[in-house]
Amino acid sequence: MQAIARANRVFKDKPGGLVVDYLGIAHELKESLSEYTRSGGRGKTTFDQEEAVAVMLEKYEIVSAIFHGFDHSKFFTGTPKERMTLIPAAMEHILKQDDGKERCLRYVTELSKAFALAVPHEDALKIRDDLGFFQDVRAGLAKTTASTDRPPEELDLRDPADYIKSYRLG
């Protein structure tokens, strides 16, 4: 909000500023301003790091349960070849579970966000390496996600002109 306020600050001959929403944050900005206004400018501006650590540890427990039974210690101590084969094996471990992929994608993301708020707390630093492994597995799983809602057999039938239309600027 501070950056927006600076852009809109009047000065000499400048009656105001123009905020261009390049990143698609207008909706979130409106929510923030609404919350700030409702609280009379006395909203909670900081967070309690202990609270963030508690959330992080809760998410870490959930993610650890998803990886239960999978030994990933070679990720830290193994040879490069052992480390390279570990990620696909971990992905297979996740994919064998009911909704494993979706749960892994969701909870590793939530753990990563909680971790970012909890750092540099010593409990956050303790799980840093495990989080790195979880994130690598998550990245591998995310790459296997199709970016379309259309069945694969329909993709070959699409008219090339449709591709041009969808990428046309303006």
Q: Encode pLDDT of 79-89 as tens digits.
A: 999 988 999 99
Q: Are residues 59 and 29 in the same domain?
A: no
pLDDT value of position 136: 95
Domain assignment of residue 148, yes or no: no
Structure pTM?
0.61
Extract the tokens encoding 7: 């852009």
**Which range in 32-46, 107-121, 156-170 is most confidently predicted, on average pLDDT?**
107-121
Say whether both 6 and 82 belong to one domain.
no
Domain that holds residue 100: 49-143
Q: What's the CA gap between 86 and 84, in Å, rounded?
A: 6
